[in-house]
Chains A and B, each alone.
Chain A
Amino acid sequence: MKREIGITINGERIEAFVEHRLLLVDFIREVAGATGTHVGCGFEGRCGACTVLVDGAACKSCLMFAVQAEGTDITTIEGLARGDTLHPLQQAFTDRHGLQCGYCTPGFLITLYDYLKDPECDASAEGIREAIGGVLCRCTGYVHIIEAAQQAIEVLAQMDGAERAKWFPK
């Protein structure tokens, strides 16, 4: 069974005639061509590399069908920077060596985007460990990911409200 759907991905509306069973992650990667979102486990939602923002909320896109996302506004790793300027979170990941092979990186960036959206988020290592517990990384041992998250929290805290809001449009 197929259906015509439209999903906005990083500001661009993508329309396609898709199978009902097409996973959202496959829509993003193969229909929209946004291959920055990755598949590490497939259908169990454990690895988190496929995490995207669906209407502003972090979702594992291997656990949704594309048809369920019809009409939504999705942000992926490709949509975080503003022009050539990296999001403070992306900048922190390179400053603090929060990535190695990069395969899980979309999952951490999107999950932490969702977490950091709340200016009152818990900046302790324990709080961040809890927040990223749904995303798996095999390279970093998470230490530098946590330090990167803390740097981003600090940088964002120094911005005024309007400037900070620019980095969280979703």
Chain B
Amino acid sequence: MNTQEQTWVGRSIRRKEDHRLLIGDGRYVADMTLPRMLIAAFVRSPHANARIIHIDASRALTMAGITEVKTGKDLEHLGPVLSDLSIPRLPGETKRPVFWPLPVNEVTYVGDLVAVVIGRDKYVVEDAVHAVAVEYDVREAVLDPEIALLPDSPRVYSDWDDNVVYHQHFSGGDIEQAFASADLVVSQRFRSARSGASPMEPRASIAEYSAAEGLTVWLTTQRSHIKRHLLAEYFKIPDSKIRVIAPKDVGGGFGVKAPLYREDIVLCHLSMCLKRPVKWVENRQENLVNIGQERDQIHDIELALRKDGKILGIRDRMVADCGSAQVPIYVSFSMPWLGAMYLTNGYDIPNIDIDLYCVVTHKPGLTPSRSFGSFTCRFAIDRIVDIAARRLKIDPVEIRRKNAIKKYPHTLATGVHCDSGDFPGALDKACHAIDYERFRKEQQAARGEGRYLGIGFSLGIEFSGLSSQILVPMERQPGFGVATVRFDANGNVQVAHGDQPQGQGHDTTIAQVVADELGLTPDDIYVISGDTQSAPFAAGTLASRMGGYTLSAAVLAARGLRPKLAAIAAHHLGISAGEDEFVFRDGEVMLAADPTQRVAVARIAETAMLAPTELPPGMDGGLENTAHFEADTTGMHSTNVHVVTVEVFPNTGDCQILRYIAVDDCGRPVNPTMVRGQIHGGVALGIGNACQEEFVYDEAGNPLVTTLTDYLMVSARDLPHIEVINHDNPSPHTPLGTKGKGEGPTGMVPGALGNAIEDALSPFGVTIAELPMTKERIWTLIDEASR
């Protein structure tokens, strides 16, 4: 085995992406203009539940440059959107909502599509949207998921016999025995309002059609190949006649840009009908009332414990409000399903009974948001553990030590496989960093002064990609990572991979690992992705899969070229030596025993690409290799512990975060500063969702949050400094020990913060059980407890 000297992995080099973005030279979909391009905008429903009686577009069509107004009836012939390919195939009972690219008869939430207007000028198109007169028969909306579950509730989909889009009962171990032998059973109801990720760049798409090339679609997407495949299936044309391009610059995704959306289908259809490029750029109001909404869950949890704090079992009746569920690929229930799969998370709880109901209502369908289905589950599990600790008079750290997963590999009762980690070590680091003993003394002293300080811990696992065993049943998609490493004739290396980024910096980290494998520098390497015409097929960027899966594929693809590089080098040197006798360093392939015997990689590449006649006899020309990486396990996870201290002000309900510390496992960080960036961003999103961001609906289903100002998206003013401490446990399943990072930090936040706030307010005896923990909610809890 060649002992390759690692020179780039582990270094916080500057990102390759930065320069173009810093000089304003990024290229996002909204920046693009094509010849003869038309602009589309959507008429959207002002009602949560209504029948469309009549649409009158005559006035809109008189406006300057307005060429078309299309309604659901016009697109009805295309057929319903969901197919076997675009609905999760999970165990349990699933119903399929039948809906079209534009609703044909009924709208199912405020903001639902009604018609599309196409014209030349975006300002006039916007005017025309408002000039389309729609007559509705407004009906009562079903908004409360628990009322929607009652047998006499009106139905969101009239042909269903109830409002349950998905039901699954998870069981493991012997739950009856666990509860029968318990010294204590703690019960608590937890819930979260809707909140989510909302990237700074709203959605945008441009579709262009030509008879020769077919359809080309530029999309703000996390998964161009999957969308191409689904669009091809929907329009009944071959994949080869569709090209989906996620441009190099997409302004944040966080899961929100993972589904196929109805607007994408409408744009493609329009471009094929009109034979002209059509562009749509979502405005922020449309964005906030349609997508980025997740977290909407209710948990009724019972936890069975021994009096020494050992958790014996958990029961949960979980209800997720999936809204209209008109979200291809996810159908709004795969998030709560995965949340339930991960409910017990970093805790070793062998006996489980989880009854999951995913319910449709007259709200927008849930869309994935960073922490995919787990945000509220994580809040519930980390909170119930603290509630139990208080009842048992056990320290919250001790109860975590007792119940955290300790032996690896470990399989959760739901079947989730955990490969490696170290919770006890991470808890030690967290306690040390926050100076736990001292904080308790300060807390005590502060109470004497009428000040309320609190501390809260959370612990949890973060998936490092999802293996095919999970992703195939979930979405009929592969878990593998893929990369093609291909030399240019001058010795530069192109890496093409299947996971286009939305700001994560994949170009940089891939260049770092490939540079090390081939003895080059990151400057020698350039990375392409996002275009189905040139990037290899993979599921796209999701579930923190870059660090575990795609980076590993790039490593293996590069590593796979070394025998050929070595053979050509040996041939040039006129010696007989195998790969393991060479080292790859400083742009050269050199004999380990005698480094004066060396050949430049550039010369090897030049030979292989331009002068195959000079290759060793029988060797094919070219210098290119593709590797698919699938970890030899059903799950790779990192283990993380967060701790936060707060001061709560009972007179106002304000909560000030004093310190926030993330003890984080990234396996083996390729670029430590970028890993910290992922943690900072994930925690910030978690604090926003946990404390102030909320999509509020009134009793008629009207969104009361239609601007960023209403949504209270967290700013720098709202956030504390976020400290990161590394506690890396390399994965045994990846060639470099890397694990993914990105999805996980967000879900760590609500439990830690909820625990800290409740701890601060322990003199009042309040229970923190609802998200977001706004100052109004906290003040109300204190007020009620004080009466």
Contacts and interface: CB of A to CB of B under 8 A. Distances in A.
B641 to A, nearest CB: 18
Interface in A54-96: 76-78, 80-81, 86, 90, 93-96
B236 interface: no
B323 interface: no
A140 to B, nearest CB: 5
Contacts of A94: 14-15, 18-19, 22
Given A44-B284, A136-B708, A139-B681, A105 B721 contact: no
A97 B673 contact: yes
B27 to A, nearest CB: 8
B684 interface: yes
B427 interface: no
B200 A77 contact: no
Contacts, number: 182
B624 to A, nearest CB: 30
Nearest to B283: A42
A101 B199 contact: yes
B28 A38 contact: yes
- Give the interface size class of chain B: 35 or more
Given A22-B123, A97-B677, A128 B251 contact: no
Contact of A138 (B23, B681, B717): B681
A109 B23 CA distance: 10
Contacts of A169: none
Nearest to B121: A19
A139 B197 CA distance: 10
B249 A101 contact: yes
Contact of A90 (B23, B281, B681): B23
A44 B707 contact: yes
B17 interface: yes
Nearest to B32: A35
B597 to A, nearest CB: 39
Interface stretch (B156-164, B416-424, B444-452, B502-510): B502-510
A133 B716 CA distance: 5
Contacts of A144: 673, 676-677, 680
A166 B319 CA distance: 60
Given A94-B15, A138-B200, A141-B684, A99 B22 contact: yes
Given A138-B252, A138-B254, A141-B683, A100 B22 contact: no
A125 interface: yes
B699 interface: no
B677 A36 contact: no
A38 B224 CA distance: 23
Interface residues of A, number: 58
A37 B24 contact: yes
A5 interface: no
B285 interface: yes
Interface string B273-293: 000000001011100000000
Contacts of B721: 125, 143
A103 B708 contact: no
A30 B32 CA distance: 10
Contacts of A86: 19, 22-23
Given A19-B123, A94-B15, A109-B22, A142 B200 contact: no
B677 A139 contact: yes
B201 interface: yes
B685 interface: yes
Interface string B238-264: 000000000001111010000000000
B255 to A, nearest CB: 12
Contacts of A139: 200, 252, 503, 677, 681
A41 B251 contact: no
A143 B680 contact: yes
A102 B123 contact: no
Interface in B632-690: 673-674, 676-677, 679-685
B252 A101 contact: yes
Contact of B677 (A41, A80, A140): A140
A45 to B, nearest CB: 9
A134 B714 CA distance: 10
Contact of B708 (A37, A46, A128, A137): A46
Given A140-B681, A143-B721, A77 B252 contact: no
A38 B201 contact: yes
A44 B681 contact: no
A108 to B, nearest CB: 9
A94 B505 CA distance: 12
A44 B708 contact: yes
A109 B252 CA distance: 18
B249 A102 contact: yes
Contacts of B612: none
Interface in B396-426: none
A39 interface: yes
Nearest to A93: B22
Contacts of A40: 200-202, 251, 284, 708
A21 interface: yes
A133 B23 contact: no
A101 B683 contact: no
B125 to A, nearest CB: 13
B709 A44 contact: yes
B26 interface: yes
Nearest to A143: B680
B722 A97 contact: no
A49 interface: yes
Contacts of B717: 129-130, 133
Interface in B1-56: 12, 14-15, 17-19, 21-28, 30-31, 33
A97 B684 CA distance: 16
B17 A102 contact: yes
B715 interface: yes
Interface hub of A97, A109, A135 (most chain B Cβ within 10 A): A97
B685 A138 contact: yes
Contacts of B719: 129, 141-142
B22 to A, nearest CB: 4
B198 interface: yes
Given A103-B252, A142-B684, A78 B23 contact: yes
Contacts of B505: 100
B565 to A, nearest CB: 32
B251 A102 contact: yes
Interface in B143-192: none
A123 interface: no
Contacts of A101: 199-201, 249-252, 502-503
A90 B23 CA distance: 8
A19 B681 CA distance: 40
Contacts of B12: 97
Contacts of B251: 38, 40, 101-104
Contacts of A80: 23
B716 A132 contact: yes
A14 interface: no
Contact of B285 (A42, A100, A109, A137): A42
Given A42-B285, A133-B716, A143-B722, A100 B503 contact: yes
Contacts of B681: 100, 138-141
A56 to B, nearest CB: 18
B680 to A, nearest CB: 3
Contacts of B31: 29, 35
B175 to A, nearest CB: 39
Given A135-B715, A139-B503, 10 more contacts: A37-B24, A38-B251, A42-B283, A81-B23, A94-B19, A97-B674, A99-B503, A133-B715, A136-B713, A140-B677
17 contacts: A19-B123, A39-B281, A47-B200, A49-B200, A94-B22, A97-B15, A97-B677, A100-B503, A100-B505, A101-B200, A101-B503, A102-B18, A102-B249, A130-B717, A135-B715, A141-B677, A143-B722
Interface of A: 19, 21-22, 29-30, 34-42, 44, 46-47, 49, 76-78, 80-81, 86, 90, 93-97, 99-106, 109, 125, 128-130, 132-146
